[in-house]
């Protein structure tokens, strides 16, 4: 699994409490599709051992927040899909993390939130 560059389990309910342990065994991962898998949260260290990740899709889950430290840890991120979750807003930390990318690097961020804080 170390040479795997794409990992898609979209549309399959995952009842794996420590999915970050599975992903940590895939250091060459560039794309991950965890959309519509029933994820209740994205642990802070979920992608810690995936420095090459460019595309992350966690849409259609049960996320109520997304920690900005995850965004800061993904230095090569080009696409982030957080749409169709239960995000109640985007706090200033996440907003700053997304804005910290070079304009030519982060190509797309998909969001669907109820409220965005003005801080």
**Can you give the pLDDT of all 119 residues of the chain as single tens digits?**
789 999 999 999 988 778 889 999 999 999 999 999 999 999 888 999 999 999 999 999 999 989 889 998 898 999 999 999 988 777 788 888 888 876 567 777 887 755 555 55
Looking at domain 1-119, its CATH superfamily turns out to be: Ribonuclease Inhibitor (3.80.10.10)
Do the beta carbons of residue 32 and residue 9 sit within 8 Å? no
Q: From CA 74, how far away is CA 78, in angstroms rounded? A: 9
Displacement of CA 34 from its chain's centroid (Å):
9
Rounded to whole angstroms, how far apart are CA atoms 75 and 78? 9
């Amino acid at each position: 699994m170390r040479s795997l560059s794409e990992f898609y389990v979209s549309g399959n309910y995952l009842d794996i409490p420590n999915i970050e342990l599975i992903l940590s065994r895939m250091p060459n991962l560039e794309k991950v599709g965890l959309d519509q898998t029933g994820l209740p949260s994205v642990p802070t260290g979920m992608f810690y051992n995936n420095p090459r990740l460019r595309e992350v899709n966690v849409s259609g889950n049960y996320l109520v927040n997304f920690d900005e430290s995850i965004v800061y840890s993904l230095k090569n991120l080009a696409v982030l899909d957080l749409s169709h979750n239960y995000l109640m807003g985007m706090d200033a930390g996440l907003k700053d993390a997304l804005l910290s990318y070079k304009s030519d690097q982060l190509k797309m961020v998909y969001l669907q939130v109820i409220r965005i804080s003005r801080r």
